[in-house]
A = this chain, B = another copy of it.
Amino acid sequence: MFKRMPDVQPRLADDVYEQILSAIVNGQIAPGDRLIQEKIAAEINISRTPVREALLRLEREGILELSGRKGFSIRQISEEEVRDIYGVREAIEGYGAYWVAANRTDARIQAIAEKVAEERALKEHDMQAEFRINRDIHRTIVAQTGNKALLDMFDSIWGRGISQWLFAATRTNQTPPDPDVHDKLLGVIKNGTPAEAQAAMIEHVRDGLGMQIKGLKE
């Protein structure tokens, strides 16, 4: 009763972090835009300190970069880095698929199936929505392992690709939003051996890399 005090006092920096990140995902901040500490601080009526903390965190996560004294901006990543990121995804998500297939449960399969259904039900096909649901599906698979550290890695590696993903996706928007692909993947996780599930996931990720590179090259 009387409401419990939270263990750790909230930090403005966390808010700012969330706001900036979702602004990137929503396309309100584009590559090339300059993020100035004081500007942001003034805009939301707080001081530079928490804003700075948020920006530094985003920098460390590879999402932003600091260009000399011209402020922060979305980091442009090279093709090699994209390949690297997808390599990590193979490692993490492949492991996740393996684990889920090895520790199969109705509840776990169900959780994933729900996300896939969400994708199928998706009406608006803007890139941001596509991105989110796609990430959610993959994230849900990894989340089924119950391994928090693994999920952290997942979030970390997906954070890096954000802007690039959206950029490439916008270019090659012939990209069909085929939920069939995910259905197939789910099928293997549901019925295949762990090794098969892992292989299917890795192949699926590789396909994504192909798209990405194609979008980058044009």
Q: Mark A146-163, 1 if CB is under 8 A from B, else 0.
A: 011110110011001000
Residue of B nearest to A59 (CB): B8
Shortest CB-to-CB span from A211 to chain B, Å, is 19
Considering only residues 63-104 of chain A, those with a C-beta below 8 Å from chain B are: 66, 68, 81, 84-85, 87-88, 90-92, 94-96, 99
The reply on A128 being an interface residue by CB < 8 A is no
Q: Is the interface of A mostly helix, strand, loop or mixed?
A: helix
**Inter-chain contact A88/B53, CB cutoff 8 Å:** no
**Inter-chain contact A88/B149, CB cutoff 8 Å:** yes
The reply on A178 being an interface residue by CB < 8 A is no
Shortest CB-to-CB span from A127 to chain B, Å, is 23
A7-B68, A53-B56, A56-B53 known; A84 and B149 CB under 8 Å? Answer: yes
Chain B contacts of A57 at CB under 8 A?
56-57, 60
**Inter-chain contact B68/A147, CB cutoff 8 Å:** no
Shortest CB-to-CB span from A69 to chain B, Å, is 8
The docked-state distance in angstroms from the alpha carbon of A96 to that of B95 is 13
Residue of B nearest to A98 (CB): B91
Chain B contacts of A150 at CB under 8 A?
84, 87-88, 91
- List residues of chain A with CB under 8 Å of any chain B CB: 7-8, 13, 53, 56-57, 60, 62, 66, 68, 81, 84-85, 87-88, 90-92, 94-96, 99, 145, 147-150, 152-153, 156-157, 160
Interchain residue pairs with CB less than 8 A apart (21): A13-B56, A53-B53, A53-B56, A56-B57, A57-B60, A62-B152, A84-B148, A84-B149, A85-B149, A87-B95, A87-B99, A87-B149, A88-B149, A88-B153, A91-B92, A91-B96, A91-B150, A92-B92, A153-B153, A153-B157, A156-B156
Q: Give 12 new A-B contacts, CB below 8 A, not counting A13-B56, A57-B60, A94-B95.
A: A8-B66, A62-B152, A84-B150, A87-B145, A87-B147, A87-B149, A88-B147, A90-B95, A91-B92, A91-B150, A153-B153, A156-B156
